[in-house]
Amino acid sequence: MLIQLAHDLPDYFYDVFVTRLDFWVVFGIVAQMVFGSRFILQWIASERAGRSVMPLSFWFLSILGGLMTLVYGFVRREPVIIIGQGLSTGIYLRNLALIFRERRRRQRDPA
């Protein structure tokens, strides 16, 4: 069984990453890289602050990466991606709205 797996795995990866490679696969990979970069950004910001922080750019990368992945899902007709990224992107937008509302409140009422 392991010998067969060792034989089949390279063929599988060749099929997935070479045979099926097109513009939309590259777009999807870039979307995932944008989306994943938000965690690297958050990690760096937290290390600099010496505590866990969520920089504003985290949410912008979340929205950009989420929307790109959502486009990929629509093009590929992937319901799991469409549902997941559609709902998640709405949550990211809501978080930005809450952040900006809090900033406006603080500017009006500096304590």
Q: Is 94 helix (H, G, I), strand (E, B) or coil?
A: helix
Spell out the residues 6+ positions from residue 56 whose beta carbon is closer than 8 angstroms to its own.
Answer: 96, 99
Digit-coded pLDDT (tens) for 19-40: 999 999 999 999 999 999 999 9
Q: Is 55 exposed, middle or buried (0-12, 13-18, 19+ CB in 10 A)?
A: middle
Q: What is the tens place of the pLDDT at every residue in 53-109? A: 999 999 999 999 999 999 999 999 999 999 999 999 999 999 999 999 999 999 998
Q: How confident is the model at residue 2 (pLDDT cuts 50, 70, 90)?
A: confident
41-49 average pLDDT score: 96
DSSP 18: I
**Integer Cα distance of 63 and 68 in angstroms:** 8
